[in-house]
């Protein structure tokens, strides 16, 4: 027994000595990877010993360490999505740690630095705002067939929903404010509709493929242009021109015949300093619910020329022509339960002559082109100028049906598609041949031109001054046209005073025909002062918004009132803030701002005509402030902030279907006040390079502050149908957005080339949107709108990188709503829960794709 024990001790001793000997014969390599421009650590950069499988990824501080490296002269390769790769020679000694220090990676794009100046990108631990940044690699891995706003759902204070589920019909709110009150900038250029402030995400369906990074700056934001955003700023930076030659091919499939084919190609920076990048994709599918077929194309082009050390010019163009069926009408929960299709039921499509015909659809093409000039005047000053144009062409389909017979749908006739053949037969039987029923398009075209120029001057090492101009010209063309007469010979129209009693056909205008013009002149200035651990800024901006309306149907061509005067609204904003880095780990910040925002176009012309102009329209007034705290370490990052936004003289417009007349009617409310306040927390934990845990929690308290009186109810022709004496809104919860959200997500690299991720999102305290007219009775005082049941959703994703000879490739897989959870995402309030109309959220969806890079 004693001999066995001695033998065991000897064996263990030999093993330990052998392992120490082996360890002593190898060394380690350590260092830190930084962004070459900002000096910020690059989290998740790959560092590999060339010619081996040994490597590491950088932690939250940008640090890496590679162990068990054989001695000798080695080369490490550092790569990170969106940055130029770098090789570095390292001399490794046995038993020693080779410290390579800080390694700076430049971006792999021409002109990106200048774009970031125009776009006002917030810098961590310097810019005193609450911000979440989503990088290109995250978008590539998580997107799948999610729409662009959904990529923001893991950020605090964000609620994104697909609404009816049509392609591109998503909406997003920030701190309870809809996109009308959230500035959306693409490469620094504003894209919110100039008349109503809305953002139609179907116009930008290709952004997922060409976005380099996206920042959500909640609250005041870091935007220097004269854009008074109440909820925050969504700041999107697209690709510019890749500095390295290459490209990719992509093919993906998914549920409901989802199919995507795309490519990208870049020349890199040539010897004569030209660079060109092009990208394009085609996406089509049947849609998740009935009647939601879609087809979309997107394209991107950037041509850059570095003229000399002082001047660079860059032309960027992108667009996404698309058509998709829609589900416009919400229904009661009982209707969805009774429908054989369940929550996929859609009442807004039908069949004519054996073909699918959509009673509600959308088609649009809104290309945007921008010519940028970057001028380095001297060592301390530079001028960046963007001249841009956007031409929108398209609209949305609708119906005016005398009856809506239904075809049997899974055995239940009342839930089947619309029987357009029966409607066509009804039209054909009309003795005079005119249409009793028809389909139409509501057309919204526009031309938009702008100039955005920013001058930056470094006064000294502590003080930077910035100033610029923001000029815009916009004209929108709005009219309705016949889309399909459904078997009739013509439609009788008496809408045009210049040509009354017309018999019109397909493509002819009717109902309304008007233009809206908007002029915008803005100036801005900002000072940034940095000394040691303190960073401060003070920003001033002023703008004049001018509205003019031209009516071609309700006014004679000879009438001087066919074109109104311009109505001007001067607004200004002042905001400031400070960030103080207490230590290398801790920082605090605060900001405050006040601004006045012009009322919307509809608030100035509330009756949709040129006669009843609202001379009492006032600027909306907003006071906002917040304080925050940040923590940074090699393994754990966290941010916490508290905010309060007071909104006075809010412009609020609403539309709803009048049950008594079955017609769309409108309300224009002024003098409404609201208070949005809350707290937000987000964090990232990465104890080892192969594992990252992300999380966020936000809790809001968003309420209406006052009742309003004497509100006119208008029909589609702008005529007053009724007057509501009182609307009881005080203390009601702001609806249409979850006031409490939570997210937890993890990414785990199983082996060097296989990474998996999972995300859980939870939504609570989401109140139904309520039609203001429903709050006109004393009995409704203080009665909260219906509260949507809380729900949580799981998403999964995976990416597998592999090589095909000298070509690298990646396989992607994504599943959203993994457990096919049934939940209500949007709701319109009613007197009883049985009458609440809802959209159910989208069920389980999946995509798989392969990208070949060259």
pLDDT tens profile 671-713: 789 999 999 999 999 998 889 999 999 999 999 999 887 677 7
Given a cut of 80, whether residue 3 has pLDDT beyond it is no
Q: 284 has which bridge partners?
A: 259, 295
Interval 16-50: pLDDT, tens:
444 444 445 889 999 999 887 667 788 888 899 99
Percent of the chain clearing pLDDT 90 (strictly above): 67
Residue range(s) defining the domain that contains residue 210: 109-238
Nearest residue to 702 (alpha-carbon basis) of 680, 678, 681, 679:
678
Q: Are residues 131 and 69 in the same domain?
A: no
| Per-residue confidence (pLDDT) for residue 4, from 0 to 100 | 45
Residue 773 pLDDT grade (very low, low, confident, very high; cuts 50, 70, 90): confident
Burial track 42-70 (b if 16+ CB lie within 10 A, e otherwise): bbbbbbbbeeeebbbbbbbbbbbebeebe
Q: Are both 65 and 99 inside the same structural domain?
A: yes
Query: Burial code of 399-429, b = ≥16 C-beta within 10 A, e = fewer?
Result: bebeeebbeebeeeeebbbbbbbbbbebbee
Tell me the per-residue pLDDT of 550-568, one tens digit each, with 9 for 90 and over. Answer: 999 999 999 999 999 999 9
Given this model, what pLDDT does residue 82 score? 72
Distance, CA of 478 to chain centre: 25
Distance CA 448, CA 442 (A): 19
Q: What is the pLDDT of residue 717?
A: 62
pLDDT in tens, 424-435: 999 999 999 999
Same domain, 375 and 523: yes
Do 743 and 668 share a domain, yes or no?
yes
Q: Identify the DSSP state of 156.
A: T
723 vs 826 pLDDT, higher one: 826
- pLDDT of the residue at 22: 45
Stretch (H or E) spanning 13 = helix 2-24
Q: For the residues 160-174, what does the mean pLDDT come to?
A: 95
| CATH code of the domain in which 39 resides | 2.60.40.10
Which pLDDT does position 720 carry in this prediction?
73
pLDDT category at 662 given cuts 50, 70, 90 is: low
Instruction: Count CB atoms within 10 A of the CB of residue 235.
Output: 26
Q: What is the pLDDT of residues 256-270, one digit of tens each?
A: 999 999 999 999 888
Same domain flag for 564 and 482: yes
Residues 828 and 788: beta-carbon distance below 8 Å: no
Residues 270 and 224 occupy one common structural domain: no
pLDDT band at 328 (very low <50, low <70, confident <90, very high): very high
DSSP summary character for residue 289: S
Residues 301 and 442 in one domain: yes
Instruction: Determine if the pTM surpasses 0.75.
Output: yes
Distance of CA 303 to the CA centre of its chain: 25
pLDDT digits (tens, 9 = 90+) for 443-452: 999 999 999 9
Q: What is the pLDDT of residue 125?
A: 85
Q: Please indicate, yes or no, whether residues 146 and 246 belong to a single structural domain of this protein.
A: no
pLDDT in tens, 565-582: 999 999 999 999 999 999
The domain that contains 179 carries what CATH number?
2.170.130.10
Same domain, 206 and 329: no
Integer Cα distance of 656 and 660 in angstroms: 12
**CATH value at residue 494:** 2.40.170.20
Boundary (domain end) residue, out of 238, 268, 303: 238
pLDDT score for 244: 75
Distance separating alpha carbons of residues 436 and 717, to the nearest angstrom: 20
In terms of pLDDT, which residue wins out, 790 or 672? 790
| Alpha carbon distance 663, 709 (integer Å) | 23
Question: What's the rounded Cα separation, in Å, for the pair 225 and 453?
Answer: 9
Can you read off the two tokens belonging to residue 127?
A: 């810019």
Mean pLDDT of all residues in 386-407 = 95
The strand ranges marked E within 566-610 are: 567-581, 586-597
Of 300-314, 340-354, 384-398, the range with the lowest mean pLDDT is 300-314
Is 170 in contact with 185 (CB distance < 8 Å)? no
How many Cα atoms occupy the beta-carbon half-sphere of 456 within 13 Å? 18
| Strand (E) or helix (H) holding 209 | helix 207-210
Distance of CA 246 to the CA centre of its chain: 28
Q: Are residues 374 and 231 in the same domain?
A: no
Note the pLDDT tens digit of each residue in 610-646: 987 887 788 889 999 999 999 999 899 999 999 999 9
How far apart are alpha carbons 187 and 369 in whole angstroms? 11
Statement to judge: residues 489 and 359 lie in one domain: yes
Structural domain tally of the chain? 3
Q: Are residues 557 and 703 in the same domain?
A: yes
Quick one: which H or E segment has residue 271?
A: none
Most confident of 50-59, 155-164, 670-679: 155-164
Please tell me the least confidently modeled range out of 16-30, 94-108, 443-457, 642-656. 16-30
Contacts of 173 (CB under 8 A, 6+ apart): 158, 159, 160, 179, 182, 231, 736, 737
3-state SS of 123-155? CCCCCCCEEEEEEHHHHHHHCCCCCHHHHHCCC
Domain boundary among 105, 133, 160: 105
Which residues contact residue 18 at a Cβ distance below 8 angstroms, ignoring those fewer than 6 apart? Answer: none
- Domain boundary residue, one of 80, 105, 130: 105
> Which positions ≥6 away from 432 have C-beta within 8 Å?
none
Each residue of 359-374: pLDDT tens digit? 999 999 999 999 999 9
Percentage of the chain lying above the pLDDT 70 cut = 91
Q: How many CB atoms lie within 10 A of CB 657?
A: 11
Output 623 or 213, whichever has higher pLDDT: 623
Q: Nearest 5 degrees, angle CA 714-CA 718-CA 720?
A: 45
Confidence of residue 228 (pLDDT cuts 50, 70, 90): low
pLDDT tier for residue 226 given thresholds of 50, 70 and 90: low
| pLDDT value of position 479 | 97
C-alpha count within 13 angstroms, C-beta hemisphere, residue 43: 23
Query: Is 424:405 a contact under the CB 8 Å cutoff?
Result: no
**Coil, strand or helix: which one is 568?**
strand
On average, the pLDDT of the chain sits at 90
């Amino acid at each position: 027994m004693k001999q066995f024990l001695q033998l065991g001790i000897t064996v263990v001793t030999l093993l330990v000595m052998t392992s120490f000997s082996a360890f002593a014969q190898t060394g380690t390599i350590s260092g830190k990877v930084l962004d070459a421009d900002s000096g910020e650590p690059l989290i998740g950069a790959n560092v590999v010993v060339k010619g081996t499988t040994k490597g590491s990824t950088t932690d939250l501080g940008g640090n890496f360490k590679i162990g068990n490296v054989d001695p000798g002269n080695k080369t490490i390769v550092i790569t990170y999505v969106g940055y130029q790769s770098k090789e570095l020679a390292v001399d490794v000694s046995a038993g020693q740690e080779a410290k390579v220090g800080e390694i700076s990676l430049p971006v792999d794009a021409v002109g990106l630095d200048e774009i970031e100046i125009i776009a006002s990108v917030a810098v961590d631990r310097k810019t005193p705002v609450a911000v979440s940044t989503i990088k290109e690699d995250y978008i590539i891995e998580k997107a799948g067939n999610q729409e662009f706003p959904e990529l923001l759902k893991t950020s605090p204070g964000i609620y994104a929903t697909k609404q009816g589920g049509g392609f591109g019909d998503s909406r997003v709110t920030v701190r309870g404010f809809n996109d009308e009150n959230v500035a959306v900038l693409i490469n620094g250029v504003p894209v919110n509709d100039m008349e109503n402030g809305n953002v139609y995400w179907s116009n930008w369906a290709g952004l997922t493929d060409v976005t380099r990074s996206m920042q959500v700056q909640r609250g005041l934001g870091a935007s220097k242009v004269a854009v008074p955003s109440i909820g925050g700023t969504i700041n999107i930076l697209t690709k510019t021109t890749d500095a390295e030659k290459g490209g990719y091919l992509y093919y993906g499939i998914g549920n409901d015949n989802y199919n995507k084919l795309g490519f990208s190609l870049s020349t890199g920076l040539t010897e004569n300093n030209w660079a060109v990048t092009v990208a394009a994709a085609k996406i089509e599918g049947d849609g998740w619910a009935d009647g939601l077929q879609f087809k979309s194309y997107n394209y991107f082009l950037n041509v850059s020329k570095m003229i000399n050390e002082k001047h660079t010019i860059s032309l960027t163009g992108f667009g996404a022509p698309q058509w998709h069926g829609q589900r416009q009408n919400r229904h009661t929960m009982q209707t969805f339960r009774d429908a054989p299709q369940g929550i996929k039921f859609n009442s807004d499509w039908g069949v004519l002559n054996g073909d699918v015909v959509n009673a509600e659809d959308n088609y649009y093409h809104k290309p945007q082109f921008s010519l940028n000039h970057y001028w380095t005047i001297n060592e301390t000053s530079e001028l960046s100028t963007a001249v841009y144009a956007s031409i929108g062409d398209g609209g949305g389909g609708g119906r005016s049906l005398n009856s809506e017979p239904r075809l049997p749908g899974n055995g239940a006739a009342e839930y089947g598609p619309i029987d357009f053949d029966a409607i066509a037969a009804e039209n054909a039987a009309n003795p005079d041949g005119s249409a009793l029923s028809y389909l139409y398009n509501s057309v919204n075209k526009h031309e938009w031109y702008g100039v955005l120029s920013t001058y930056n001057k470094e006064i000294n090492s502590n003080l930077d001054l910035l100033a610029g101009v923001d000029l815009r010209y916009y004209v929108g063309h709005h009219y309705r046209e016949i889309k399909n007469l459904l078997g009739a010979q013509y439609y009788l129209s008496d809408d045009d005073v210049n040509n009354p009693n017309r018999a019109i056909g397909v493509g002819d205008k009717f109902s309304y025909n008007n233009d809206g013009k908007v002029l915008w002149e803005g100036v801005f200035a900002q000072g940034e002062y940095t000394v040691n651990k303190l960073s401060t800024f003070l920003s001033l901006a002023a703008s004049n918004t001018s509205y003019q309306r031209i009516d071609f149907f309700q006014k004679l061509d000879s009438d001087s009132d066919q074109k109104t005067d311009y109505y001007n609204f001067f607004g200004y904003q002042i905001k400031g803030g400070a960030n103080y880095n207490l230590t290398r780990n801790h920082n605090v910040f605060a900001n405050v701002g006040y601004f006045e925002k012009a009322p919307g176009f509809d608030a100035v012309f509330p009756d949709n005509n040129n006669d009843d102009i609202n001379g009492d329209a006032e600027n909306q007034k907003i006071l906002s402030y917040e304080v925050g705290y940040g923590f940074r370490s090699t393994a754990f990052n966290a941010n916490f902030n508290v905010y309060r936004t007071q909104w006075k003289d809010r412009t609020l417009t609403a539309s709803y279907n009048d049950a008594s007349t079955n017609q769309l009617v409108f309300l224009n409310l002024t003098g409404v006040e609201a208070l949005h306040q809350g707290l937000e927390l987000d964090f990232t934990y990465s104890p080892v390079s192969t594992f990252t845990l992300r999380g966020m929690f936000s809790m809001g308290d968003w309420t209406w502050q006052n009742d309003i009186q004497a509100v006119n109810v208008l029909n589609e022709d702008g005529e007053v149908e009724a007057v509501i004496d009182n609307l009881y809104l005080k203390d009601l919860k702001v609806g249409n957005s979850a006031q409490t959200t939570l997210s937890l997500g993890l990414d785990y690299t199983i082996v060097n080339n296989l990474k998996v991720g999972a995300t859980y999102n939870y939504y609570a305290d989401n109140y139904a949107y309520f039609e203001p007219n429903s709050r006109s009775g004393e009995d409704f005082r203080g009665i909260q709108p219906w509260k949507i049941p809380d729900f949580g959703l799981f998403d999964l994703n995976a990416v597998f990188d592999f090589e095909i000879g000298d070509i690298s490739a990646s396989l992607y897989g994504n599943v959203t709503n993994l457990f096919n959870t049934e939940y209500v995402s949007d709701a319109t309030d009613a007197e009883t829960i049985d009458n609440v109309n809802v959209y159910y959220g989208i069920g389980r969806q999946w995509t798989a794709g392969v990208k070949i890079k060259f």
